Amino acid sequence: MTEKIRQSLRESTAMRWTALVLASLSIFGAYYFNYALSSVKPMLESILGWNSEDFGTYTSSYAWFNVFLFMLIFSGFILDKLGVRKTGLGATIVMFVGTALNYWAVKHQFASDAVVHLPILGDMKAQVWWSSLGFAVFGVGTEAIGITISKAVVRWFKGKEMALAMGMQMAIARLGTALAIGISIPLAINFSVTAPILFALVVMLLGVVSFILFSVLDIKLDKSEGTANKIVDPDDEFKVKDILLIIGNLGFWYIAILCVLFYSAVFPFLFYANDLMVNKYNVDPSLAGTITMLLPFGTIILTPVFGGIYDKFGKGATIMIIGSLILILVHGILAIPSITLWWIAAIMVIILGVAFSLVPSAMWPSVPKIIPEKQLGTAYAVIFWIQNIGLMLVPLMLGIVLNNTNPDVAPNKKVVKVGIERAVTEALNGGSLTAKDITKIVDKASGAAVDSVVQYSAYTPVEESEIDIKNVENSIYSVVTKSLSSVSTSGNKEETIRKVAAVAKDAAFKVIIKEKLNLRYNYFFDMLIFVGLSVSSLLFAFLLKIEDKRKGYGLELPNIEK
C-alpha cells in the first residue's frame, strides 16, 4: 500500500476527486457573492436610491484592480513562483476582506447627498463608491483563486479526466451562482438588503477552511511523488520572458478573445436577468430568481457531461462553435420586443445554460494543449485579465445604456419612496415605533409599490416631460397620509409594521396608476449588445478551429491518454 501511494497520490481516484471538491468549495462562496446583489437590483433602487448607472458601476468595479493595476497578471506570476497552496490561501483571505468591506458599505447609512470626489471620474455616491471598492478587492481574490484552481486541476488530473474535472469544478462553483439567484431576494425581503452579503461572509470563511484542507492534501501529493523538497530545474522554472512566448501565440489570442466575448455575453446577462424578467416578462420579483437560476443549475449538470465527452471523444473546437451558435439564438429571441411570455424566457434561459456548459467545458481544458505547463498559471492569468476587461466594460456599458434609454425610471422610483417616506414619518413619528421601524416600513412599502406596478400594470406611461414630479410626490404623500389616519399602531409590532406597509403600498399604487408613472425598464438596446457579443464569439470560435488545424494543437483530439 505504501509503495502504491509513493507512486503518486493522484493515481488514487478517491484522493484526486477529494482534492477537487475541497479546492472547488473555496470558490463556491465567490460565485455566490458575485451575484448576491444583482438579484436585488430593484431593492437597491427603491430602498437605497441607486439607479442603473450606479448598479453598472458597482458590477464593473469587480475588475477595477485586476485590469488597471494588473493584479491578475501579478497573481499569475505569484502562482507560477509560489505555487498553488500559498497563492490560493492568500486569495481566499482577500475575498473575505472585500466582502466584509462591501457589507459595511451597504449597511452603513450615508447621508443622502454624500459623495466621493474622484479624479477624472468626478463625483460618485459615497455608498456606491465604498460598496464598489469592496467588490473590487473581492474581485482580486476571486480571479486569483480562479486561476489557482485551474492550475491545481491540471496538476491533479493531467492525462486523466481533466475536462470532466474542470467541468465538475465549474459545476460546484455555479451552485453558488444558483444559490445567490435563488435565495438573495427572499433573504432581502424577510430580513434586510444586507442579509445576502452577511450570508456571503459566512460562506467565504468556510471557503478559507476548505482551501486549507486542500493544501494539506496537496502537500501529501508532493510527498507521494517525492517532490516535497525537490530542487526545481532552472530550465523548468517560469521566467518573465516566457510571457512573450504566451502573447506571441496566435492560438492563445483566439481562445482568450473567445473567452472575453462569450463570458461577457453571459455573466453580465446574469447581473441583469432578474430585473429583465420582472420588467419585460411581468414575473413576480420574488419568483424572478427561480427562472434565472435555471441557467446555473443547467450548467451544474451539463458542464461535467460535456467535459466527459471532450475527454473521451475530443472535438473541443467544434463544441465551442456549437455553444456560440446557441448563444446567438437565445439572445436574439430575448431581444424581440413582442415576445413577453414568461415561459418563453424560461425556455431560453435553459437553452442558454446548455451554451454556457458547452463552451467552458471545452475552452479551459484546451488551454494546456496550447500553452506549456510551466507557463500555465500566467497564461490563465492573462486570459482572465482579458476576460476582466470585458466584465468591467460590458456591465458598465449596459448600466449606462439602460439608464439613458430609460431616463425617467430611477427618478420616478425615488419620487415614490420620498412621497411614502414623508407620509409614514409624519404619521408615525413620536409613537411606539422606532426610527428603525419606520425606515423598515418605508422600504417595504416603496419596494412593494414599485414591484406591484411593474408586475400588474399594463398602461402606456406618460412621457417624462408631461409629468410634474413634485406634484406626483405630493399626491402620493397626501393619499398615503389619509390612508394611514385610520390605521391603528397598537398591538404586536411586527404585525403593525406589516399592516402599515401594506396600507401605504396600496395607497401609493393608486396614485402611480392614475399618474401613469413610468417604472418599467425597456431592455431592448441592452439585449442588442448581447447579440453583438454572441456573433463575435462565434467568429473567434471558427478562427480557433482553423488555427488548430494549422498548428496541430489537438483541440479535436480526446484528453484521456491511452
Mean pLDDT of the chain: 86
d(CA 133, CA 61): 7
What pLDDT does 127 receive?
Answer: 93
Q: Is the pLDDT of residue 228 over 60?
A: no
Alpha helices in 430-555 (DSSP H): 435-456, 469-484, 493-515, 524-551
Cα-Cα end-to-end distance for the chain: 25
- Segment among 95-104, 166-175, 268-277 with least mean pLDDT: 166-175
Residue 339 has pLDDT above 50, yes or no: yes
Specify the amino acid at residue 16: R
What digits encode the pLDDT tens for the residues 372-400?
Answer: 777 777 787 788 888 889 988 998 899 99
Distances (CA, A) of 530 to 122, 165, 332: 29, 29, 8
CA nearest to 540, candidates 258, 196, 282, 280: 258
Reported pTM = 0.77
Check if CATH label 1.20.1250.20 holds for domain 2-406+522-551.
Answer: yes
Checking if the pLDDT of 232 tops 50, the result is no
C-alpha closest to that of 221 among 528, 11, 452, 59: 11
Q: What is the distance between the alpha carbons of residues 517 and 472, in angstroms, rounded to a whole number? A: 9
Q: Would you give the DSSP letter of residue 95?
A: H
Could you say which DSSP state residue 226 is in? T
Q: Which three cell numbers stand for residue 429?
A: 413619528
Domain boundaries, the chain: 2-406+522-551, 409-515
Provide the pLDDT for residue 277: 92
Radius of gyration of the chain (CA): 25
How far apart are the C-alpha atoms of 303 and 296, rounded to whole Å? Answer: 10
CB atoms under 10 Å from CB of 111, counted, come to: 8
pLDDT at 233: 46
Phi first, then psi, for residue 11 (nearest 5°) are: -70, -15
Q: Tell me, what's the pLDDT at 324?
A: 95
As beta bridge partners, residue 8 has none
Residues 187-208 have a mean pLDDT of 90
| pLDDT of residue 562 exceeding 80 | no
pLDDT of 250 higher than 60: yes
CA distance 456 to 491: 32
Per residue in 37-70, pLDDT (tens digit) is: 877 888 888 788 888 889 888 988 998 998 888 8
pLDDT bin (cut points 50, 70, 90) of residue 231 is: very low
Strands 115-118 and 122-125: antiparallel
Q: What's the confidence (pLDDT) of residue 227?
A: 64
CB atoms near residue 202 (< 10 Å): 11
| Cα within 13 Å of Cα(152), Cβ side | 33
User: What are φ and ψ of residue 226, in 5° steps?
Assistant: 70, 30
The pLDDT score that the predictor gives to residue 71 is 87
* Secondary structure letter of residue 160 according to DSSP: S
CA 489 – CA 140 distance, rounded (Å): 49
Which letter does DSSP use for residue 461 in this model?
Answer: P
Phi, psi (5° rounding) for residue 559?
A: -90, -30
Of residues 331 and 15, more confidence is placed in 331
Per-residue pLDDT tens over the stretch 445-469: 888 888 888 878 778 888 878 888 8
Number of Cβ atoms within 10 Å of the Cβ of 100: 18
- Locus of grid cell 469587480: 62
Half-sphere exposure at residue 480, Cβ-oriented, CA atoms within 13 angstroms: 34
DSSP letters along 143-199, please? HHHHHHHHHHHHHHHTTSSHHHHHHHHHHHHHHHHHHHHHHHHHHHHHT-TTHHHHH
- Condensed to tens digits (0 to 9), the pLDDT of residues 19-36 reads 899 988 888 989 999 888
In tens, the pLDDT along 267-294 reads 889 888 988 998 999 888 778 878 888 8
